[in-house]
Structure 1
């Protein structure tokens, strides 16, 4: 033999490819498991802040409702209950529409 190797030490190319494929599959499974575990850890870590943020949003929403009701009641003493409620509702809807327009403007900037 020119290379000094033994013919018995060499394995057929098909067997080598089979081993390579098996090791590749094992590596891919290990990488997938690592990615899955990492994603699960990040999701678990984000759970508590997400719940606290949702609770904060609910209290913010309640505060806006109370503010609008207070505005309606204050206006009711000046222009009557129906008109006061309508003015407070229109002011709230106007503010919501303005925020919507700002959001759409910012969204267009992303494109």
Structure 2
């Protein structure tokens, strides 16, 4: 280490500390920095989770209501066909019709997924 010009060669300054103490301080500072970074990441994740909570609940409710609407449609189609061809045949035809629509949508979704990947 360079000494100031007015200090004799063998003298040590008051501001010099042992290497072990400096290394210990460096390690403690590193630990404190890592803890602070972890707290920042935790705060960001918590804020994002809280921001997504209400929209997730709303999407879940919308999904359940969509399922109820599809069930009502299926019952309506089956009841409408029941007056024409009987209750059992109306239910079977309604099932086949809605299953064909679901299969077509699933096939199209799988096709688009393969194209996009």
TM-score between both structures, scaled by the size of structure 2: 0.82
Question: RMSD between aligned alpha carbons?
Answer: 2.0
Aligned with residue 32 of structure 1, among 32, 38, 56 = 38
Whole-angstrom CA distance in 1 between matches of 2:91 and 2:85: 10
Q: Deviations over 1:20-67 (max 9, x none)?
A: 121111111111111111111221121111111111111111011001
Task: State yes or no: 1:62 paired with 2:57.
Answer: no
Residue 102 of structure 1 corresponds to which residue in structure 2? 108
Residue 3 of structure 1 corresponds to which residue in structure 2? 3
Whole-angstrom CA distance in 1 between matches of 2:73 and 2:53: 30
Unaligned runs of 5+ in 2: none
Q: Deviations over 1:60-99 (max 9, x none)?
A: 1101100111111111112211111111111111122222
Residue 59 of structure 2 corresponds to which residue in structure 1? 53
How many correspondences in the alignment? 111
TM-score between both structures, scaled by the size of structure 1: 0.85
Unaligned runs of 5+ in 1: none
- CA 1:15–1:106: 2 relative to 1, 3 Å: farther
- CA 1:79–1:40: 2 relative to 1, 3 Å: same
- Greater Rg by CA: 2
Whole-angstrom CA distance in 2 between matches of 1:80 and 1:110: 45
Residue 77 of structure 1 corresponds to which residue in structure 2? 83
Structure 1 runs (4+) deviating above 4 angstroms are none
